[in-house]
Amino acid sequence: MPDLARELDLAELKGRLYAAVLSDVLDELGHPDQAVKPFVRPLDEASVLCGFARTGLYMKRYHLPEGHNPYALEMDLIDSLEPGEIPVLACDGPTDRIAPWGELLTTASMVRGAAGCLTDGLVRDVRRIRELGFPVFHGGIGPLDTKGRAEMMAADEPVELGGARVAPGDFIFGDVDGVVIVPRAIAPEAIRRALAKIEAEDTTREELLAGNSLRSVFERHGVL
């Protein structure tokens, strides 16, 4: 678990933050390409993804050598998860071939206190995962097993997922609007600014509801 985790209350942030405001703040900080492409969607639109990245990189396979376990690195990653961590599985999606996530990995991750899963690959066992209430953001739904089709080739190193670069320990936040990757080095400042912006937006909303014009409210608070 990164040191940053000890500084942040994930349960509080999960209830206060939202993806759009974090995206705005990352623009201000000079990181405009940290939103995952919009084909990656939540399995349940009410779910919120909030935690720290543990990365896995997948490659296509077209042959399974005799005696080879194609799940070995995948299992090691899941078995080593700590509370608040999120498996981030990069499959070069969108894809119709690589489906790294299902019910059993969900169950194993939940038991370890993981905060969800993010992948640009496919997921399966959707009904059971929804029943478990585990936040999963995915690049599509399909019944395929990865065996003989794909394999995790590396773990805990930088990857690209849905057009955004993700490194181990980066702060991940996702909701119905999409997923934002906050680089670990700027996460405390980005979160501080995001919470301040949310307070300003709350004030703006109250003044708009009171009948103030959009222009006058913007001129006072600079929030839109």
Annotated binding site: 102-105, 124-125
Q: Assess contact for 116 and 135: CB atoms under 8 A.
A: yes
Question: If you ran DSSP here, which 8-state letter would residue 36 be given?
Answer: P
* 103 close to 73: Cβ distance less than 8 angstroms: no
Cα–Cα distance, 77 to 119 (Å, whole number): 14
Residues whose CB falls within 8 Å of the CB of residue 88, separated by 6 or more in sequence, listed in order: 53, 54, 55, 56, 118, 119, 159, 161, 166, 172
Q: Which amino acid is at 94?
A: P
**Which two tokens mark 46?**
């009410």
DSSP 140: -
**Annotated binding-site members for Mg(2+):** 124-125
Q: Which sign does the torsion angle of CA 45, 36, 18, 220 carry?
A: negative
Judged on CB neighbours under 10 Å (0-12, 13-18, 19+), 21 is buried
Q: Which residues are annotated as a binding site for substrate?
A: 102-105
